[in-house]
């Protein structure tokens, strides 16, 4: 009984420690990681700057069909084309702690398939949610994007994809992960791309550029959101995001589109971290 009482008495102490010291420790650790990242990035091969900026410029959004913001105005909210697709199935790898985006479409009557090995279930239930506790990937315990979509939808059925899988998107969009046939029936796709500082590393840059080549073969970008969840990259006159979200519309639905000169806005109206203002020096524009 005394042991149980002692444990109970320690609970508020542990809670106070977490509130007082753990947060401070985590902030110091994050600050040190950021300092190291900045040092490493400043030692980059600056002859590759132009190539990296060119890759960002390829994702210049186009003026396409009207778009709607779904999922809220901060983390978990995305712009999607406001077009009538009729009945379609949404596939959303990467669940985390927010499913407002997915819940919106479930409420409209669409089936929503979710997969994420880091959680045991979606944080918010819905009858139209179909969850698997797996990550996207090529390991035995994982599932590839294409076979996952194909197993839950017909060969001619339109689908949509929302993907935020913390860097796994580069493998998920590779040809061995999703076939051209499956990709061609994705009406729209929202992808959060991570680790853009790796464009200055030859092996990573080849993989990333091949993914950009592939998605731009099937889709046109209609929105680009610089995500301030991670530090930006100072590249000459530009301040570029290391994480950003792209909304992509299948070229099948391309109507009258024209390029937008602005690629990354000075500051989004829907920031991941509302209190953080980024020091944009010059907006990246199409020449």
DSSP-derived secondary structure for 107-161: HTT--EEEE-TT-SS-SS--TTEEEE---BSSSTTSB-HHHHHHHTS-TT--EEE
Residue 268 domain-assigned (yes or no): no
Q: Which residue has the tokens 């853009």?
A: 196
Residue 272 domain-assigned (yes or no): no
Residue 58 domain-assigned (yes or no): yes
Tokens found for residue 31 = 């600050």
Q: Determine the Cα–Cα distance for residues 251 and 62; give it in Å rounded to an integer.
A: 12
Q: What is the pLDDT of residue 140?
A: 86
Q: What is the pLDDT of residue 71?
A: 81
Same-domain status, 61 and 74: yes
Residue 58's contacts (CB-CB under 8 Å, 6 or more residues apart) are 212, 216
Q: Which residue has the tokens 């091949």?
A: 210
- How confident is the model over 63-111, as pLDDT tens digits? 666 788 888 766 677 888 888 888 899 999 999 888 999 999 999 999 9
Same-domain status, 52 and 35: no
Q: What is the pLDDT of residue 3?
A: 46
- DSSP 8-state symbol, 190: E
Residue 257 Cα distances to 1, 83, 206, 214, angstroms: 73, 14, 29, 20
Residue 226's contacts (CB-CB under 8 Å, 6 or more residues apart) are 232, 240, 241, 244, 264, 265, 268, 278
Residue 79 domain-assigned (yes or no): yes
Q: Determine the Cα–Cα distance for residues 122 and 114; give it in Å rounded to an integer.
A: 8
Q: Which residue has the tokens 């060969």?
A: 155
Same-domain status, 10 and 105: no
Q: What is the pLDDT of residue 151?
A: 96
Residue 90 domain-assigned (yes or no): yes
Same-domain status, 156 and 38: no
Q: Determine the Cα–Cα distance for residues 132 and 144; give it in Å rounded to an integer.
A: 13
Same-domain status, 112 and 232: yes
Same-domain status, 141 and 247: yes
One-character DSSP codes across 252-286: GG--S-EE-SBSS-SS-SS-SSTTPPP--SS--B-
Same-domain status, 130 and 183: yes
Q: What is the pLDDT of residue 225?
A: 79
Same-domain status, 33 and 83: no
Same-domain status, 251 and 146: yes
- Tally of structural domains, the chain: 2
Q: For residues 176-209, b (16+ Cβ closer than 10 Å) or e, as one string?
A: ebbeeebbebbbbbbbbbbbbbbbbeeeebeebb
Q: What is the pLDDT of residue 265?
A: 47
Question: Number of helices (H) and strands (E), helices first, in the chain?
Answer: 8, 13
Q: What is the pLDDT of residue 268?
A: 47
Same-domain status, 243 and 166: yes
Residue 214 Cα distances to 72, 161, 176, 194, 217, angstroms: 30, 16, 12, 17, 5
Q: What is the pTM of this model?
A: 0.80
Q: Which residue has the tokens 């860097």?
A: 167
CATH number of the domain that 193 lies in?
3.40.50
Residue 245 domain-assigned (yes or no): yes
Same-domain status, 110 and 24: no
Residue 149 domain-assigned (yes or no): yes
Q: What is the pLDDT of residue 245?
A: 87
Same-domain status, 66 and 184: yes
Q: What is the pLDDT of residue 153?
A: 95
Q: Which range marks the domain in which residue 17 is found?
A: 1-43
pLDDT along the chain (287 residues), means of 10: 53 60 62 72 85 83 77 77 88 91 95 94 95 91 94 94 92 95 96 90 92 94 79 77 88 71 49 51 42
Q: What is the pLDDT of residue 59?
A: 81
Residue 54 domain-assigned (yes or no): yes
């Amino acid at each position: 009984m005394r042991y149980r009482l002692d444990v109970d008495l320690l609970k508020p102490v542990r809670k106070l420690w977490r509130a007082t010291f753990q947060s401070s420790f985590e902030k110091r650790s994050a600050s040190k990681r950021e300092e190291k990242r900045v040092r490493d990035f400043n030692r980059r091969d600056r002859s590759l700057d132009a190539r990296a900026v060119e890759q960002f410029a390829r994702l210049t959004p186009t003026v396409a069909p009207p778009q709607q913001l779904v999922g809220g105005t901060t983390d978990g909210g995305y712009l999607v084309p406001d077009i009538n697709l009729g009945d379609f199935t949404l596939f959303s790898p990467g669940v985390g702690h927010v499913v407002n985006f997915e819940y919106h479409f479930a409420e409209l009557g669409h089936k929503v398939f979710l997969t994420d090995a880091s959680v045991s279930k979606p944080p918010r239930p819905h009858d139209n949610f179909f969850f698997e506790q797996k990550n996207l990937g090529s390991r035995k315990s994982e599932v590839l994007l294409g076979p996952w979509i194909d197993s839950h939808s017909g060969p001619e059925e339109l689908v949509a994809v929302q993907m935020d899988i913390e860097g796994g998107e580069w493998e998920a969009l590779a040809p061995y992960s999703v076939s051209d046939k499956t990709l061609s029936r994705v009406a729209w796709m929202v992808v959060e791309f991570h680790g853009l500082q790796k464009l200055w590393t030859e092996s990573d840059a080849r993989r990333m550029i091949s993914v950009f080549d592939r998605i731009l073969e099937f889709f046109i970008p209609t929105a680009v959101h610089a995500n301030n969840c991670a530090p930006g990259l100072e590249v000459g006159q530009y301040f570029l995001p290391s994480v950003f979200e792209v909304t992509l519309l299948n070229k099948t639905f391309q109507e009258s589109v024209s390029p937008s000169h602005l690629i990354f806005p000075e500051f989004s109206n829907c920031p991941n971290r509302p209190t953080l203002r980024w020091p944009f020096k010059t907006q990246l524009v199409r020449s």
